[in-house]
Structure 1
Amino acid sequence: MGRVFKAKRRVWIGFLLILCAAAVGAVLVWMQAQEDPGEPVPYTNPVYRSDAPDPTVLKADDGYYYAVTTQTTRNGTFTPLPILRSKDLVHWEERGTVFTVENVPDWTVYNYFWAPHITYYDGKYYVYYSTMLNDDDESTGMGIGVAVADHPEGPYKDKGEPVLAGISFDTIDPFVYDDEDSKRYMYWGSNGMPIYAQELSADGMSVVGEKTEAIWAGQFDVRDGYDKLVEAPWVIKRANYYYMFYSGDYCCQDSGHNAHYSVMVARSESPVGPFEIYAGNPILEMNDRFLAPGHNAVIQDDAGQDWMLYHAYDLIHPDVSGRAMMLDRIDWLNDWPVINGGQGPTSELQSEGPVIQR
């Protein structure tokens, strides 16, 4: 009987030792992953060689990056608000759309879905988007809508009416920022009007209080008149400053042939301003390879490095249709962002690309 007990005890001790070894191994793997999140993924622009204007991006709980872009036509089919997915910000695949032609909200005009913004809040994914109001008067009234889903690929349920409505193209290009104090803010604007900021309700379905004029068109007299029109805000918090990236002046005239577009930046100690202009604006403009870069998003990789996702016209490769999706590293110099040393979009192989957790 004693021998049996001793044998059983040895089995249990062995089993516990195996469990301890597995736990220690898991901890060591975790510690190594924290110290070495992965290898950089090389890339060459464009990272998505198809029409993908006005990209917005986030990293979801499933480990993938999801981007939503302005409407386009794929293989002759109109596609409102396409959804793209990537594991590394470099290799992208199509994953459906927020809406289909058959289920676009009835308060919108079916072929006007622009400049979306995807965000995650309280267990839900929200896609805010710009559209034309379906008021049966054939007016140019524009509005900002929102659709909500449990997963970034949907299915999405629309609010059923605009979050904001306007009389013209000044009510487009939404961006939502969730501040550290639990307040939420919506930014929008275009058409020679200011970029506005206004507090957003906790459920994300309406604005509250009064709007603030955060940045005015022509306010800072940016070189070459890039800020005669300002739009496409994207706000991040870094140290003590809120940085607003924004674009101007005209993105896509004559299918891009006469586009005059760049990315600028300003900063403030408050999410609603007043904003201080960067003297080095624009931080991203055309070069001999890419035209009219702009309407950017900002995202961090697993190493904490900031990256800019944006669109541009490819001047060299005619097979790259429309405004292709681009990627470039954001460096920081004297507390201001710098892209490619001020030389415009990168066009050569970038060996030090995004770092992704293994």
Structure 2
Amino acid sequence: MKGYLAALSGLAAAALAGCASAAGPADDSTYEYQGNPLFRDLHTADPAPLVVGDTLYLYVGHDEAAEGQMFNITEWLAFSTRDMKTWTAHGAIMQPADFGWASRDAWASQVHEKDGRYWFYTAVEHDPDQGSQGKAIGVAVADNPLGPFRDARGSALVKNEDTPGPHNWDDIDPTVWTEEDGTSWLIWGNANCYIARLAPDMISFDGPIRQIDLPDFEEGPWIFRRGDMYYLAYASMDKTISPDERISYATAPSITGPWTWRGELTGAAKNSFTIHPGIAQFRGDWYLFYHVGTLDVGDRKGGLGRRAVAVERLTFDENGLINPVEQTDTGILPLP
């Protein structure tokens, strides 16, 4: 953790250094799935799937780090598929500047549907001239999964001052869940894992911010439910095992716990210090989306800050626990 904190301390300066932008996909261009990585003409990270009817939408950050930069994530892109084979690119759905109080950094996000509206929770860098400094959680809203999204409250839902984390980027990586009774919850964090109940308006909290105690928690939580069991997957770190993040998970009988650690889901991403889970059931099958650092695009070598989304099937044993996932180049091939 200490090495990670030291490395990230220079993040703001690196991001401000700028880099030549790699063009994103043209709207409505298509990809045929050929194995991992999923999209091979640009760098994508922090995948967040959303299923709406017969379509799976995938939201990602657009990695554009230049040599010497750790991260430079400039916008959020959207893709969609109806069969996991043919994917359509829809271009950028938002940029950090769309939050008038933010300065940069399109970090990990999740889009959540509730009552026919689409709520976009994400992490950005707060503009220090507007009352806070460090990472913050914003929320945007749209009437369509592809937008247009607009800032839903005109200020951060969570600021660095709202939580007791050890650094100013502990408020990142939001994931959201809505119960059958309509109650919604937000979970997020780096170093500390936070949870709070959302108010019915989805842009404020209806209760205190609490912490979930998870072994080796680093960042990137993802909440989902299967049957009567809740699952919380997250990027974990144990330097006695690996200097890189892995994906671990815990289960609980309720969104409020108690959470039982179930161990490692998959190991470190290839050629990337970070890894980020996004999990969804689609057309009867479960999928784990994550990112790796193996894709070269032109003269941009893959790695941290130039990652690429991949996908594997997710299966469960007779007790509802997740079977370990092997990261492969073939991914979910063959497809029908």
Match of 1:323 among 290, 304, 307: 307
What are the superposed Cα offsets for residues 317-347 of structure 1, whole Å, 9 maximum, x if unpaired? 986572111100111123211244xxx3012
Name structure 1 gaps, 5 residues minimum: 1-40, 221-226, 251-257
The answer on 1:122 being equivalent to 2:115 is yes
CA contact (8 A) 1:242 1:270 kept: yes
Equivalent position of 2:48 in the other structure:
56
Equivalent position of 2:179 in the other structure:
179
What are the superposed Cα offsets for residues 193-212 of structure 1, whole Å, 9 maximum, x if unpaired? 2x111111112111111222
1:314–1:337 CA distance, 2 compared to 1 (3 A): same
The answer on 1:88 being equivalent to 2:88 is no
Match of 1:164 among 133, 158, 164: 158
CA contact (8 A) 2:56 2:282 kept: no
| Higher relative helix content | 1
Count residues with an aligned counterpart: 284
Q: Give the distance between the partners of 1:95 and 1:247, measured in 2 at CA.
A: 28
CA contact (8 A) 1:284 1:294 kept: no
Instruction: Determine helix, strand or coil for the equivalent of 1:295.
Output: coil
CA contact (8 A) 1:171 1:188 kept: yes
Alignment of 1:1-358 (within 5 A): 43-49=34-40, 50-61=42-53, 63-73=54-64, 79-100=74-95, 104-109=98-103, 111-136=104-129, 140-159=133-152, 160-167=154-161, 168-190=168-190, 192-193=191-192, 195-216=193-214, 220=215, 227=216, 229-249=217-237, 260-278=244-262, 281-286=263-268, 291-292=272-273, 294-302=275-283, 304-314=284-294, 322-333=306-317, 334-340=319-325, 344-348=326-330, 350-353=332-335
1:83 is matched by which residue type in structure 2?
A
Instruction: Determine helix, strand or coil for the equivalent of 1:336.
Output: coil
What are the superposed Cα offsets for residues 203-224 of structure 1, whole Å, 9 maximum, x if unpaired? 21111112221134xxx3xxxx
What are the superposed Cα offsets for residues 239-294 of structure 1, whole Å, 9 maximum, x if unpaired? 322110111339xxxxxxx961111000111102221011xx2211137x665572
Q: Give the distance between the partners of 1:67 and 1:271, measured in 2 at CA.
A: 24
* Percent pairwise identity: 25
Q: Give the distance between the partners of 1:215 and 1:92, measured in 2 at CA.
A: 38
Q: Give the distance between the partners of 1:215 and 1:90, measured in 2 at CA.
A: 38
2:38 is matched by which residue type in structure 1?
V
CA contact (8 A) 1:97 1:153 kept: no
Q: TM-score, normalised by structure 2?
A: 0.75
CA contact (8 A) 1:81 1:99 kept: yes
Q: How much has 1:72 moved relative to structure 2?
A: 2.9
Q: TM-score, normalised by structure 1?
A: 0.71
* Higher Cα radius of gyration: 1
1:199 is matched by which residue type in structure 2?
R
2:307 is matched by which residue type in structure 1?
R
CA contact (8 A) 1:164 1:206 kept: no
Q: Give the distance between the partners of 2:65 and 2:273, measured in 1 at CA.
A: 22
Q: How much has 1:55 moved relative to structure 2?
A: 0.9
2:235 is matched by which residue type in structure 1?
S
Q: How much has 1:138 moved relative to structure 2?
A: 9.7
1:179–1:347 CA distance, 2 compared to 1 (3 A): same
